[in-house]
Amino acid sequence: MATEVLMPKLGLTMTEGLVDEWYKNEGDAVKKGEALCSISSEKLSGDVEADDDGTLLKIVVAAGDSTAVKTPIAYVGAADETISAAATGPAGAEDVQRGDRVEGSRASGDSGDSGAGDANSPGEDDSEDGARRANRDTSGDGKRIFISKVAEKMAKKHGIDYSKVTGTGGHGRITKRDMKAYIESHPSGDADSQEPSDGAASAGASAAASASEAVAPVTAGEGLTGMRKIIAQNMMHSLHSTAQLTLHRKVNVTDLLATVSEIKGNLGPGDEAKALSMNVLLIKAVAIALQEHPSLNAHYDGHEYEQCDDVNIGVAVALDDGLAVPTVPNVVGQSLSQLKTVFHDRVDRARNGDIDTLAPGTFTITNLGTDGIEYFTPVLNVPEVAILGVGAQSTRLTLNSEGEIEKVVELPLSLTIDHQTVDGRTGAEFLSTLADVLAEPYRVLL
């Protein structure tokens, strides 16, 4: 019996993935563990491997197309098996592909020709359902329009003529994301779809058309490919679905660094010294501060707000071809040595493409200090409601309480919060608590 090849879930926030390239064609023999295709998410790219020996019977999602996670992108089975058109639709996906490969193959299935060119030709589907769909999904100039069911429902709900929406899916398919972007860029609705109610119909229609042309729909990732396109889409989604506010301040880490330097001097080089790296110290310090401010250790997806019981801290790590956020789970209660072991293990595995090690995070840290950046505005890793940016350390001279000049080492921090769920003052109080923790070395070291 044929087995499904599913789009993997590369992280908690991933809802869909992009197929970059197919290494195999339909009808090719495959072996268990052999790479079938490459896929991309916002933070990682990797290969999808065959779970069994067999033949690649059907490719459901073509290169350049995206689909929801955990839905079929292909089928592998015995060479003499036949995959029905109904089975090849990614059931349960938000954006179900319509009118292209899968449904087109139903019309040409009797001929035994599974070529993508025939299946994608609108005129080839002469079934009753195909004829109805061709009329409904055709623009005024006769051009075929592909649109997902979810996007079509959104268009109907908002009274939008979706022939005016630019689709970014396969074959220009209009997706839920495209429709959402169009609605956000047309807050008054689609003016062309409103009928004038009096004698000024001609003038009103003209004005509406001008307004529609003046405001171009926002299309995230247009012109980009692969991981860069996924990053663009997710960053735009984060910025459009949240109310992001960034707070900046410097914290005194003079005593912390002096204590760490003294301990490292006694330990000498080795693995124990790695437990005192700034990233590991920050993971511990942030976890302590989050215990006092649990409203920042939470998820909000636009519908439901939930404070998380566990503190799972992700740290953004740059890769050669993108970004990964390996997560250290259950930080509270772990020693620095334990955190060091888990953190470095997760980083190494993520850099080697182990996408299954990315546990769901509740708070993210991103550090640009090694690049000399002082302050920046981190973008939320939705559905998380807060992310901490860390900048480059700086030194300044100041007068202490006794009027003596002393050198102070400061660490710049940039906290971005979702102002929908976290108030600015709450964010400021979190930074104040974090500053206190970092100023008292043994709160972090013990």
pTM greater than 0.95 (yes/no):
no
Output phi, psi for 417, to 5 deg. -125, 160
pLDDT tens for residues 416-434?
999 999 999 999 999 999 9
In 191-281, DSSP assigns E strands to 244-252
Helical (H) or strand (E) element with 324: strand 322-324
pLDDT tens for residues 202-214?
444 444 444 334 3
In this structure, what token pair is assigned to residue 364?
């993210």
**In terms of pLDDT, which residue wins out, 146 or 13?**
146
Q: What is the mean pLDDT of residues 60-72?
A: 87
Residues 299 and 306 sit within 8 Å (Cβ to Cβ) = yes
Residues 363 and 352 sit within 8 Å (Cβ to Cβ) = no
* Residue in the block written with tokens 């608590």: 433
Which among 424, 438, 367 has a CA at the least distance from the CA of 246? 424
Non-local CB neighbours of 206 within 8 Å, separated by 6+ positions: none
Confidence of residue 171 (pLDDT cuts 50, 70, 90): low
* Residue in the block written with tokens 């020996």: 53
Can you tell me the distance from the alpha carbon of 344 to that of 392, in angstroms, rounded to the nearest whole number?
21
pLDDT tens for residues 87-104?
555 443 333 333 333 333
Long-range interactions of 309-312: CB distance < 8 A, separation 24+: 310/362, 311/287, 311/362, 311/363, 312/359, 312/360, 312/361, 312/362, 312/363
Can you tell me the distance from the alpha carbon of 94 to that of 15, in angstroms, rounded to the nearest whole number?
9
pLDDT at 20: 81
Residues 197 and 174 sit within 8 Å (Cβ to Cβ) = no
Can you tell me the distance from the alpha carbon of 2 to that of 64, in angstroms, rounded to the nearest whole number?
24
Residues 325 and 317 sit within 8 Å (Cβ to Cβ) = yes
pLDDT tens for residues 131-153?
333 334 555 555 667 776 667 87
Task: Output the furthest CA–CA distance in the chain (Å, rounded).
Answer: 92
Output phi, psi for 46, to 5 deg. -170, 175
Non-local CB neighbours of 244 within 8 Å, separated by 6+ positions: 238, 377, 379, 380, 416, 417, 418, 419
- Residue 30 CA from chain centroid, whole number: 30
In this structure, what token pair is assigned to residue 20?
């970059």
Can you tell me the distance from the alpha carbon of 250 to that of 379, in angstroms, rounded to the nearest whole number?
19
SS3 content of the chain, % helix, strand, coil (to 5): 40, 20, 40
pLDDT at 13: 60
pLDDT at 196: 40
The torsion region of residue 196 among left (phi > 0), alpha (psi -120 to 50) and beta comes to beta
Which among 26, 27, 71, 73 has a CA at the least distance from the CA of 49? 73
Can you tell me the distance from the alpha carbon of 69 to that of 6, in angstroms, rounded to the nearest whole number?
7
pLDDT at 14: 67
